C-alpha cells in the first residue's frame, strides 16, 4: 500500500504554501547555496544526489513553502532520508539552522502526508513504546528468555528480514546490569561539590542502564554531587525526529519543571542526543507563556560527562593498557559542539592510547529511530563506520550515545570483529577497575 497526500479537513490534499505555517520561512534564506555542506552530509556522501543533500532539501522546503512544489512521494522520501545528524550545520559557513528547518518540515509532512499502513503501524509502535521505559521493558521480556536459553542466533536466522534488523540491534540481556543509583535531590548542606543532574532518558534506561549509572559514579569520583531526578520523562527527541511536536513539547515542559527545581548546576545525559534536545528546550519552548524562561535557563546548564570530568579532580590513577578510538556522536559534536573534551579525557587515562578515527564525525546511521525506519541507509552508514573502526586496529571504540553503541556494535558483531564498543562512562568504569562496565558486545 502506497503513501499519498492526506485529505485535509476541507476534503482536499495539502495546499501548496501551507509549509509557511510550519517552517521558519526566513531561516531558509540564510542558505546561499554554496554547497560547502555537501561532503559533510552522510546521505549525500552515499547517494551523491543533490536532493539527498542539505542544500537540496533546503531547495525542496523553499519550493514547498512558496507553493512551487506539491508534497509528493519523492519529496517525502528525500526529507525522510535525512538523519537530522546536523553535520551540515558544522560545515555551513553561513550559520544555517538546518536542524530547526527539518524538524518543522517533518511536522508538516506528518500533518499533510498519509503514510502507508506499514509505515503507520511501525511509527505507532516506535512512538507508543520507546519513550516509555516500562513498556519497553515488558516488550523485551521474551528476548531475555531467548538470551537466557542461548537462542539469539537461531532467532536471528529464522526472523523475517525487517524483524531481524531490530533484533540485531538489541544488546544481549544481562541480569547483573547496574541500575541507576537512587539518590535524593540535593540540598544546600549536601557538601561542597557542584551538583549535577543525570537525565536518564528513556530507551537508555532499559537497553544500556550501565551508562547512566557509570556516568554518576565517574562524576562522584571526580568530586561532584549527583542529583537523582524522579519525575523526568523522555527528552522528546524521538517525537522531534518523527514530526510529533505536540508530544515533544509536553515532554519538554515536564522535564523543564523537574530540572529547574532540582538544584543542579549542570545537566548531563549518557545519551548525547537527549542532551542536545534538552539544550534546545529554550528554543523549543520560546513561545510558552509559562515555561519559556525556565526552559532557557535549563538549556544553558546542559554539558557532558567528559567536560565535567576534565574540569573536576582526576580520579584515574590505575594503569589500564588499551588502544582506543573515538566516534563523535552527532548531537555531541554537531549539536553541542563538544569534540575535544572526550578525546582529552581518554588521552589523560594512564595506559590508554587514542588513535584518531577517519570520518569520526560522520553519522553511524543510528540517529534516534532512523535505523529502524531507514534500515538500508542506516546499514550502509554502519558498514562505512565499521570499515573505518577496523582500519584503526584498536581494542575499543568509545562513544557518547547509546544509539551509536548499539548500531556500531551490531555491525561489528556481524563481521565477527573482537573490537568492543563502549560508552565513555562504561569505559571509565573499566579503566578505573572499580565500577561495573559493559559494552554492547
Ligand atoms: S542533518 Fe545530516 S543527513 Fe540531514 S541534511 Fe544535514 S548532514 Fe545531511
Ligand atoms: S546549508 Fe550552508 S553550506 Fe549548505 S549550501 Fe546552504 S549556505 Fe552553503
Mean pLDDT value across the chain: 88
> How confident is the model at residue 243, as a pLDDT?
86
How far, in Å, from the CA of 54 to the mean position of ligand 2? 7
Which of 79, 113, 147 corresponds to the end of one domain?
A: 113
Q: How many domains does the chain have?
A: 2
* Residue 8: pLDDT over 60: no
Chain-centroid distance of CA 226 in Å reads 23
Considering every ligand atom shown, identify the ligand nearest to the alpha carbon of residue 367 and give its number: 1
Residue-wise DSSP of 257-289:
HHHHHS--SEEEES-HHHHHHHHTHHHHTTT-T
| Nearest Cα residue to 399 out of 216, 208, 267, 234 | 208
Is residue 11 very low, low, confident or very high in pLDDT (cuts 50, 70, 90)? very low
* Residue 331: pLDDT over 60: yes
- Report d(CA 134, CA 354) in Å as an integer: 38
Residue 299 within a domain? no
Name the percent of the chain lying above pLDDT 70.
Answer: 89
Atom of ligand 2 nearest to the CA of 35: 5
Is residue 2 very low, low, confident or very high in pLDDT (cuts 50, 70, 90)? very low
- Higher-confidence position of 396 and 65: 396
Mean pLDDT throughout 106-114? 92
- Report d(CA 441, CA 438) in Å as an integer: 8
Which of 113, 147, 174 corresponds to the end of one domain?
A: 113
Residue-wise DSSP of 301-332:
TB--HHHHHHHS-----S---EEEEE---HII
Residue 425 within a domain? yes
**Nearest residue by C-alpha to atom 3 in ligand 2:** 92
Name the percent of the chain lying above pLDDT 90.
Answer: 68
- Report d(CA 141, CA 170) in Å as an integer: 12
For the record, the C-alpha cell of 437 comes out as 562496565
Ligand 2 pocket test: which of 27, 28, 36, 38 has the largest number of ligand atoms within 8 Å of its C-beta?
36
For the record, the C-alpha cell of 161 comes out as 528480514
In this structure, how many other beta carbons lie within 10 angstroms of the beta carbon of residue 20?
Answer: 14
Helices H / strands E in the chain, number of each = 24, 9
How far, in Å, from the CA of 325 to the mean position of ligand 2? 30
Helix/strand/coil for 47? helix
For the record, the C-alpha cell of 272 comes out as 548525547
How far, in Å, from the CA of 403 to the mean position of ligand 2? 27
Cell 564498543: give the residue: 421
Considering every ligand atom shown, identify the ligand nearest to the alpha carbon of residue 54 and give its number: 1
Mean pLDDT throughout 139-162? 86
- Let me know: does 24 contact 100? Beta carbons within 8 Å: yes
Residue 148 within a domain? no
Q: Read off the pTM.
A: 0.89
Q: Where residue 82 sits, what CATH number does that domain have? A: 1.10.1060.10
How far, in Å, from the CA of 315 to the mean position of ligand 1? 38
Residue-wise DSSP of 354-411:
EEPPTTTTS--S-TTTHHHHSHHHHHHHHHHHHHHHHHHT-SEEEES-HHHHHHHHHH
For the record, the C-alpha cell of 309 comes out as 570530568
Contacts of 437 (CB under 8 A, 6+ apart): 210, 214, 422, 426, 427, 429, 430
Mean pLDDT throughout 67-79? 94
Q: Where residue 327 sits, what CATH number does that domain have? A: 3.40.50.11810
pLDDT tens digits, 198-240: 998 888 888 888 999 999 999 999 999 998 787 789 999 989 9
**Nearest residue by C-alpha to atom 8 in ligand 1:** 41
Lowest mean pLDDT among 110-114, 149-153, 382-386: 149-153
- Report d(CA 277, CA 264) in Å as an integer: 18
Ligand 1 pocket test: which of 28, 48, 82 has the largest number of ligand atoms within 8 Å of its C-beta?
82
| Nearest Cα residue to 305 out of 385, 422, 415 | 422
Residue 234 within a domain? no
Which of 94, 113, 132 corresponds to the end of one domain?
A: 113
Lowest mean pLDDT among 167-171, 188-192, 236-240: 188-192
- Highest mean pLDDT: which range of 2-16, 18-32, 160-174, 319-333: 319-333
Residue 327 within a domain? yes
Range of the domain at 74: 4-113
Considering every ligand atom shown, identify the ligand nearest to the alpha carbon of residue 46 and give its number: 1
pLDDT tens digits, 405-417: 999 999 999 999 9
Count of positions (residues) in the chain: 441
Ligand 1 pocket test: which of 85, 94, 371 has the largest number of ligand atoms within 8 Å of its C-beta?
85
| Nearest Cα residue to 325 out of 285, 375, 287, 359 | 359
Pocket of ligand 2, beta carbon within 6 A: 31-37, 54-55, 88, 91-92, 94, 96
Pocket of ligand 1, beta carbon within 6 A: 40-43, 54, 57, 82-88, 98
Residue 201 within a domain? no
How far, in Å, from the CA of 214 to the mean position of ligand 2? 39
**Nearest residue by C-alpha to atom 2 in ligand 2:** 92
Residue 235 within a domain? no
Residue 195 within a domain? no
Mean pLDDT throughout 4-11? 43
- Let me know: does 67 contact 16? Beta carbons within 8 Å: yes
Q: Can you name the residues that pair with 423 across neighbouring β-strands?
A: 399
Amino acid at each position: 500500500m502506497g503513501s499519498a497526500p492526506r485529505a485535509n479537513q476541507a476534503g482536499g490534499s495539502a495546499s501548496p504554501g501551507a509549509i509557511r505555517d510550519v517552517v521558519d520561512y526566513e531561516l531558509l534564506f540564510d542558505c546561499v547555496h554554496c554547497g560547502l555542506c555537501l561532503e559533510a552530509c552522510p546521505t549525500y556522501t552515499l547517494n551523491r544526489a543533490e536532493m539527498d543533500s542539505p542544500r537540496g532539501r533546503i531547495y525542496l522546503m523553499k519550493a514547498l513553502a512558496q507553493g512551487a512544489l506539491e508534497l509528493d512521494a519523492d519529496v517525502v522520501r528525500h526529507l525522510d532520508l535525512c538523519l537530522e545528524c546536523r553535520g551540515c550545520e558544522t560545515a555551513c559557513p553561513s550559520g544555517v539552522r538546518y536542524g530547526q528547518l527539518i524538524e518543522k518540515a517533518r511536522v508538516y509532512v506528518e500533518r499533510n502526508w498519509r503514510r502507508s499502513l506499514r509505515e503507520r503501524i511501525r511509527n505507532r509502535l516506535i512512538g507508543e513504546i520507546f519513550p516509555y521505559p516500562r513498556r519497553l521493558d515488558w516488550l523485551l521480556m521474551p528476548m531475555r528468555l531467548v538470551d537466557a536459553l542461548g537462542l539469539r542466533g537461531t532467532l536471528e536466522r529464522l526472523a523475517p528480514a525487517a524483524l531481524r534488523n531490530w533484533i540485531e540491534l538489541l544488546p544481549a540481556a544481562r541480569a547483573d546490569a547496574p541500575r541507576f543509583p537512587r539518590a535524593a535531590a540535593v540540598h544546600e548542606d549536601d557538601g561542597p561539590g557542584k551538583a549535577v543532574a543525570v537525565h536518564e532518558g528513556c530507551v537508555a534506561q532499559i537497553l544500556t542502564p550501565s551508562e547512566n549509572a557509570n556516568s554518576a559514579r565517574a562524576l562522584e569520583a571526580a568530586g561532584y554531587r549527583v542529583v537523582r531526578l524522579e519525575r523526568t520523562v523522555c527528552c522528546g527527541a524521538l517525537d522531534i525526529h518523527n514530526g510529533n511536536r505536540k508530544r515533544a513539547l509536553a515532554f519538554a515542559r515536564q522535564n523543564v519543571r523537574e530540572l529547574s527545581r532540582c538544584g543542579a548546576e549542570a545537566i548531563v545525559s549518557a545519551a548525547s542526543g537527549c542532551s542536545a534536545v534538552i539544550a534546545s528546550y529554550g528554543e523549543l519552548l520560546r513561545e510558552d507563556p509559562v515555561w519559556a524562561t525556565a526552559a532557557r535557563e535549563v538549556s544553558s546548564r546542559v554539558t557532558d560527562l567528559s567536560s565535567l570530568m576534565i574540569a573536576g579532580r582526576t580520579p584515574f590513577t590505575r594503569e589500564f593498557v588499551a588502544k582506543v578510538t573515538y566516534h563523535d556522536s552527532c548531537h555531541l559534536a554537531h549539536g553541542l559542539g563538544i569534540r575535544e573534551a572526550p578525546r582529552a579525557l581518554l588521552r589523560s587515562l594512564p595506559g590508554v592510547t587514542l588513535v584518531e578515527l577517519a570520518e569520526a564525525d560522520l553519522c553511524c546511521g543510528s540517529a534516534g529511530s532512523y535505523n529502524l525506519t531507514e534500515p538500508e541507509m542506516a546499514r550502509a552508514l554502519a558498514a562505512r563506520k565499521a570499515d573505518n573502526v577496523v582500519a584503526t586496529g584498536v581494542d575499543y571504540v568509545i562513544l557518547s550515545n547509546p544509539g551509536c553503541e548499539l548500531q556500531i556494535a551490531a555491525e561489528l558483531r556481524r563481521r565477527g570483529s573482537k573490537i568492543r564498543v563502549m560508552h565513555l562512562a562504561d569505559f571509565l568504569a573499566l579503566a578505573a577497575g572499580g565500577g561495573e562496565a559493559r559494552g554492547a558486545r
